[in-house]
């Protein structure tokens, strides 16, 4: 996912993304109705609602729009504008896997957390307050750390622009085990006073702890995101030290592993896609005659192609055929059918086609050691884009 400094064309003030049905409403109600924790906390929730500013909902929505959370590949995208019958598009294994992670978690609790913007806290904590550090780890067990760092370094050397100021930052669920970090987000992002922010943070944390299935914040739902970010001047003014960055959530990596993509190439595909957005920022490639969903789809599919080109190239990731298949599968599994949503990133088939195209550019080169610059590669991509997005149901 990604956030465009001048407009939210993304994917996220931020961004890579998808079309999963992740909203709490998608969960099944528990047979017995609200849990005891939800019932006993109802009056407390009402009291907190009374303390929230009258424009609370607007503040939450404005923050999501500013930082592009609604447009990321991993966001819930449900509306459609193109006739869905013209495309082969269905729920992917990642969708089913993530839904299964919430089995046993009651819907009233999820709704309360969502109402208080609780599910966005880890994202903002990483985006605004995170920093690149050699002590950072990636993945629940840290097993992706070396591969992601090595790939990040390789991409900075591979592409023909200065990416030295782009930081790679992890997103973990431990945000929810620190009241101070939660308060910091509530005050900085939503403008709440410290007292109200602390009350809300403590209540949200209590809700999370009341549900064993939420794993004290380590349920993949909380960190199911990955995105690229290019701060606007006003972002840097408000948050000094904010840099270009790529955020990688533990939940995304766990999800790819959970659907059988055990090789580490799949998360590398996500990272390479996000770096593809940084290539676009550097070369002003977000601008096009396209608008709405088609505009976002173009940039997302282009990032898939950029990412795969790097990973397959002999001077890039140099992946073999088997690992390339895992990369392609990772893109397929984050496709979405939200045809009418401005955050539409392309159907599973379209994303697979884009990744396949990126690999084919490498394979077709007469000189395997030669690498294309960003603009030369873009020219090739723009030429095949109409074919990639053509209806494929028949």
Range with lowest mean pLDDT among 77-81, 190-194, 384-388: 77-81
For residue 370, pLDDT over 60 is answered with yes
Q: Report yes or no: 317 and 147 within 8 Å, Cβ to Cβ.
A: no
C-alpha to C-alpha distance for 370 and 355, rounded to whole angstroms: 19
C-alpha to C-alpha distance for 260 and 275, rounded to whole angstroms: 24
CA distances from 273 to 192, 201, 375 (A): 35, 33, 16
For 304, list phi and psi in degrees, rounded to 5: -60, -45
Q: Report the pLDDT value the prediction gives residue 299, as an integer from 0 to 100.
A: 92
Q: Report yes or no: 223 and 251 within 8 Å, Cβ to Cβ.
A: yes
Tokens matching residue 220: 């993949």
| Mean pLDDT for the stretch of residues 237-244 | 94
For residue 166, pLDDT over 50 is answered with yes
C-alpha to C-alpha distance for 210 and 105, rounded to whole angstroms: 10
Q: Kind of pairing, strands 167-171 and 245-249? A: parallel
Q: Report the pLDDT value the prediction gives residue 259, as an integer from 0 to 100.
A: 86
Q: Report yes or no: 231 and 12 within 8 Å, Cβ to Cβ.
A: no
C-alpha to C-alpha distance for 284 and 306, rounded to whole angstroms: 15
> Following CA atoms 49, 54, 60, 66 in sequence, which dihedral angle do they give, to the nearest 10 degrees?
-170
DSSP state for residue 28 in the 8-state scheme: P
- Determine the structural domain holding residue 235 and report its residue range: 2-388
| Mean pLDDT for the stretch of residues 73-99 | 56
Q: Report the pLDDT value the prediction gives residue 196, as an integer from 0 to 100.
A: 97
Q: Is residue 393 assigned to a domain?
A: no
Domain count, the chain: 1
Q: Is residue 276 assigned to a domain?
A: yes
Nearest to 144 by CA among 11, 315, 321, 269: 269
| Mean pLDDT for the stretch of residues 189-215 | 97
Range with lowest mean pLDDT among 143-152, 235-244, 315-324, 352-361: 315-324
Q: Is residue 169 assigned to a domain?
A: yes
The alpha helices in the chain, defined as continuous H runs, are 36-40, 42-51, 56-67, 93-100, 107-115, 121-129, 145-158, 179-190, 194-210, 233-238, 250-258, 265-282, 292-312, 321-332, 348-364, 374-388
Q: Is residue 144 assigned to a domain?
A: yes
DSSP state for residue 365 in the 8-state scheme: -
Q: Is residue 19 assigned to a domain?
A: yes
- Please spell the DSSP secondary structure of 36-77, one letter per residue: HHHHHTHHHHHHHHHHS-TTHHHHHHHHHHHHTGGGSBTSB-
Range with lowest mean pLDDT among 2-11, 49-58, 176-185, 346-355: 2-11
pLDDT, tens digit (0-9, with 9 covering 90-100), for 10-66:
233 323 333 333 333 334 333 334 443 444 556 899 999 999 999 999 999 999 888
For residue 8, pLDDT over 80 is answered with no
Q: Is residue 394 assigned to a domain?
A: no
pLDDT, tens digit (0-9, with 9 covering 90-100), for 268-302:
999 999 999 999 999 999 888 887 888 888 999 99
Residue 239, classed as helix, strand or coil, is coil
CA distances from 173 to 1, 177, 265, 325 (A): 19, 8, 23, 30
> Can you give the pTM of this predicted structure?
0.85
Top-ranked range on mean pLDDT: pick from 15-29, 56-70, 105-119, 125-139: 125-139
What confidence tier does 348 reach under pLDDT thresholds 50, 70, 90? confident
Q: Is residue 14 assigned to a domain?
A: yes
Tokens matching residue 197: 């922010």
Instruction: Name residues whose C-beta falls within 8 Å of residue 175's C-beta, 6 or more positions apart in sequence.
Output: 121, 122, 125, 126, 181, 182, 185, 217, 222
Rg (CA), the chain: 20
Q: Is residue 326 assigned to a domain?
A: yes
| Mean pLDDT for the stretch of residues 239-243 | 92
């Amino acid at each position: 996912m990604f956030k465009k400094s001048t407009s939210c064309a993304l994917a996220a003030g931020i961004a890579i993304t998808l079309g999963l049905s992740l909203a709490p409403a998608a969960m099944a109600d528990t047979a017995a109705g609200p849990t005891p924790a939800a019932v006993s906390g109802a009056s407390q929730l009402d009291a907190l609602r009374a303390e929230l500013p009258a424009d609370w909902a607007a503040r939450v929505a404005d923050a999501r729009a500013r930082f592009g959370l609604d447009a990321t590949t991993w966001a819930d995208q449900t509306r459609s504008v193109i006739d869905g019958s013209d495309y082969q598009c269905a729920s992917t294994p990642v969708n089913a896997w993530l839904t299964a992670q919430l089995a046993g978690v009651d819907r009233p609790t999820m709704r309360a957390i969502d109402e208080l913007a609780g599910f966005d806290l880890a994202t903002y904590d990483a985006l605004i307050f995170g920093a690149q550090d050699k002590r950072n780890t990636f993945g629940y067990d840290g097993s992706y750390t070396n591969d992601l760092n090595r790939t990040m370094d390789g991409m900075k050397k591979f592409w023909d622009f200065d990416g030295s100021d782009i930081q790679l930052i992890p997103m973990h669920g431990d945000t929810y085990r620190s009241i101070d970090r939660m308060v910091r987000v509530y005050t900085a992002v939503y403008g709440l006073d410290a007292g109200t922010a602390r009350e809300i943070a403590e209540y949200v944390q209590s809700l999370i702890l009341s549900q064993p299935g939420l794993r004290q914040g380590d349920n993949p739902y909380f960190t199911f995101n990955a995105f690229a970010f290019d701060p606007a001047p006003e972002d840097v003014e408000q948050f000094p030290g904010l840099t270009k960055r790529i955020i990688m959530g533990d939940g995304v990596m766990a999800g790819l592993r959970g659907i059988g993509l055990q090789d580490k190439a799949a998360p590398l595909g996500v990272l390479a896609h996000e770096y593809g957005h940084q290539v676009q920022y550097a070369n002003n490639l977000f601008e096009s005659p396209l608008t709405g969903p088609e505009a976002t789809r173009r940039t997302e599919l282009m990032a898939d192609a950029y990412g795969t080109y790097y990973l397959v190239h002999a001077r890039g990731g140099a992946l073999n055929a088997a690992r390339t298949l895992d990369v392609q599968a990772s893109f397929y599994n984050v496709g979405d059918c939200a045809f009418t949503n401005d955050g539409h990133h392309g159907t599973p088939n379209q994303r697979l086609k884009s990744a396949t195209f990126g690999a084919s550019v490498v394979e077709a080169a007469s000189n395997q050691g030669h690498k294309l610059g960003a603009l030369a590669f873009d020219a090739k991509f723009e030429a095949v884009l109409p074919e990639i997005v053509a209806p494929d149901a028949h």
